[in-house]
Homo-oligomer: A and B are copies of this chain.
């Protein structure tokens, strides 16, 4: 799929998924896309676990919501809070760029997804329980869950502010 089409058509899908499996080859492409994102001082703080084991993905998605649990596959985003230089760390930047690449790849391959992070990292610590289940060591934090699959519903699209409310040339509001 052409880049600008992928960017334009990507959306956050919050409906049920069809049970159609996601081939490993597609998961691999999605992961490669995520890992190709830049990282602050090239620290490569982001790592990934794709889940396509039917029981495991049901168990993980079920910690969130029934519609997420219906997805036949998912991508778990892990981060290591490394210092890039002095006291600066860019791990949120790093994994956010990686997630955006993954979401575009998911879109281009004909699947739907949703950036699920708030629920995962809130004080109920769902991400921590997911990480335990996946054998993730303590130096890594599971910060985001991306369900992956074909949509069973139409879904919707959020409204965004018009261009001129958010973008200008050569000066603020110019």
Contact = CB atoms under 8 A, between A and B. Distances in A.
Interface of A: 1-4, 6-8, 10, 12, 24, 27, 29, 31-33, 35-38, 40-42, 44, 46-53, 56, 84-85, 88, 90, 92-94, 96-97, 99-101, 103-105, 108, 115, 117-118, 122, 134-137, 140, 158-161, 163, 166-174
A103 to B, nearest CB: 7
B48 A36 contact: no
Contact of A118 (B1, B88, B103, B134): B88
Contact of A117 (B4, B40, B159): B40
Contacts of A92: 92-93, 96
Given A2-B3, A3-B105, A117-B90, A35 B163 contact: yes
Which of A3, A24, A52 gathers the greatest number of chain B CB atoms within 10 Å?
A3
